[in-house]
C-alpha cells in the first residue's frame, strides 16, 4: 500500500524553491537552474505512473533532479572542446584578466565549504517547509529576496503590523527547528 500521494498541482508551491536552492548551489547559474527545474517537473509529469508512493514526493522529484543535473554536466563536458576554442586570454589587451576571473570563480572555493553550505541550505528549506504557506511566502520575500516591507505589504495586501507578526512567528518556528535539526548535530 503506497504511503505517499502525488499531486503535480502543488509542486510549484511546495517544492520549487527547495529544488531551486538545491540546483543553484550545484550549477551556480540562476537561468540554468530554472531550466533544469522546469525539465524536472516535466519529466516528473511524464513518469508519474512510475511513482510507487514508497518515498515522499519531494524525494522522488529530487531523484529526477539529480539525474537532470548530471545530464547538464555531461552536456557541458561534451562542449568542452568548443569552450577552449573561445578562450582569448593570450592577446595583449586581455593579459592578466584570467587571474581576476579565476579569483572570482566560485568553483575555487573550498569543497568542504560548498558542501556545508549546501547542507545548511537544505536544512533551512526543510525547516521552512514546516511553516504555513503565508509565513513561508512573507519570510522568503523579506529575508531571502530582501524586499522592502512596503513592497511586500502592497503585493500581499497586508499591513506592516501583520507582516511583523508573521515574521516573528516564522522566525521563532525556524529557530526552534534549526536548533533541533542543525545546531545540535
d(CA 179, CA 124): 11
Q: What are the Cα distances from residue 5, in Å, to 27, 33, 58, 59?
A: 30, 26, 11, 12
Among 61, 65, 69, 124, binds other proteins (CB under 8 A): 124
Among 74, 102, 168, 180, binds other proteins (CB under 8 A): 168
Contact 142, 123 (CB under 8 A): no
| Candidates 65-73, 76-84, 93-101, 163-171; binding stretch for other proteins (CB under 8 A) | 163-171
Contact 102, 108 (CB under 8 A): yes
Q: Is 171 in the site for other proteins (CB under 8 A)?
A: yes
Q: Is 26 in the site for other proteins (CB under 8 A)?
A: no
Q: Is 51 in the site for other proteins (CB under 8 A)?
A: no
Closest distance to other proteins from the beta carbon of 103 (Å): 18
Closest distance to other proteins from the beta carbon of 29 (Å): 11
| Candidates 8-16, 57-65, 68-76, 88-96; binding stretch for other proteins (CB under 8 A) | 8-16
User: Reduced to 3 states, what is the DSSP secondary structure of residue 174?
Assistant: helix
- Residue that the C-alpha cell 524525494 belongs to: 59
* Nearer to other proteins among residue 17 and residue 57 (C-beta): 17
Q: Is 65 in the site for other proteins (CB under 8 A)?
A: no
Torsion of CA 100, 102, 106, 110, to 10 degrees: -120
Closest distance to other proteins from the beta carbon of 86 (Å): 28
136 burial via Cβ count (<10 Å: 0-12, 13-18, 19+): buried
R_g (Cα) of the chain, nearest Å: 20
Contact 13, 59 (CB under 8 A): no
Q: Is 120 in the site for other proteins (CB under 8 A)?
A: yes
Residues that bind other proteins (CB under 8 A): 8-9, 11-12, 16-17, 20-21, 24-25, 30, 34, 37-38, 41-42, 45-46, 117, 120-121, 124-125, 140-145, 149, 155, 164, 167-168, 171, 174-175, 178-179, 182-183
Amino acid at each position: 500500500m503506497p504511503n505517499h500521494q502525488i499531486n503535480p498541482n502543488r509542486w510549484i508551491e511546495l517544492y520549487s524553491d527547495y529544488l531551486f536552492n538545491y540546483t543553484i548551489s550545484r550549477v551556480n547559474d540562476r537561468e540554468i537552474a530554472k531550466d533544469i527545474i522546469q525539465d524536472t517537473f516535466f519529466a516528473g509529469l511524464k513518469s508519474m505512473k512510475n511513482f510507487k508512493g514508497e518515498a515522499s514526493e519531494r524525494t522522488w522529484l529530487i531523484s529526477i533532479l539529480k539525474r537532470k543535473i548530471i545530464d547538464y554536466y555531461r552536456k557541458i563536458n561534451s562542449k568542452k572542446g568548443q569552450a577552449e576554442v573561445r578562450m582569448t586570454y593570450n592577446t595583449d589587451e586581455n593579459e592578466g584578466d584570467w587571474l581576476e576571473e579565476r579569483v572570482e570563480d566560485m568553483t575555487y572555493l573550498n569543497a568542504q565549504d560548498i558542501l556545508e553550505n549546501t547542507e545548511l541550505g537544505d536544512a533551512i528549506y526543510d525547516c521552512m517547509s514546516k511553516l504555513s504557506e503565508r509565513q513561508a511566502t512573507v519570510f522568503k520575500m523579506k529575508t531571502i529576496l530582501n524586499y522592502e516591507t512596503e513592497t511586500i505589504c502592497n503585493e500581499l495586501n497586508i499591513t506592516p503590523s501583520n507582516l511583523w507578526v508573521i515574521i516573528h512567528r516564522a522566525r521563532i518556528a525556524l529557530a526552534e527547528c534549526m536548533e533541533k535539526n542543525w545546531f545540535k548535530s
